[in-house]
Amino acid sequence: MLGKIIIPESDESLVGREQPMALTGIHAVNGRVIRPPFVDGLNSVFFGMGCFWGAERLFWQQPGVFSTAVGYGGGTTLNPLYEEVCSGRTGHTEL
């Protein structure tokens, strides 16, 4: 089992970058939008699942799911990269 996870204080976190990753806003598999505005009648939900790549596929295959997107939540590093989040030095978690 893993030991206790310590979330870094903001002054201990990686700095990050001003520029966010360039995204198309379109899901790579189903071609639907992944950022608002969405069509009327849709709701949003967020799940923190740890390693998100495999779990995202399960969600986009479900009936009634319009689109999915993965990313990071929490943390203090500005616009972190995947490798930075995996380092444990950003305070983020995968969503």
Q: What is the pLDDT of residues 32-63, one digit of tens each?
A: 999 888 889 999 888 887 777 788 889 989 99
**Looking at the domain assignment, is residue 27 inside a domain?**
no
Confidence (pLDDT) at 40: 93
- Helix, strand or coil for residue 74? strand
Would you say the C-alpha torsion 13, 19, 22, 23 has a positive or negative sign?
A: positive
Q: What is the pLDDT of residues 64-80, one digit of tens each?
A: 999 998 888 889 999 99
Give how many domains the chain has, as a whole number.
Answer: 1
Range of 85's domain? 45-95
Q: Catalytic annotation on 86?
A: no
Confidence (pLDDT) at 55: 86
Confidence (pLDDT) at 6: 83
Which pTM was predicted? 0.75
Instruction: Answer whether residue 90 shows pLDDT above 70.
Output: yes
**Looking at the domain assignment, is residue 12 inside a domain?**
no
Of 3, 39, 51, 64, the catalytic one is 51
**Looking at the domain assignment, is residue 2 inside a domain?**
no
Closest CA to 77 of 92, 66, 64, 56: 92
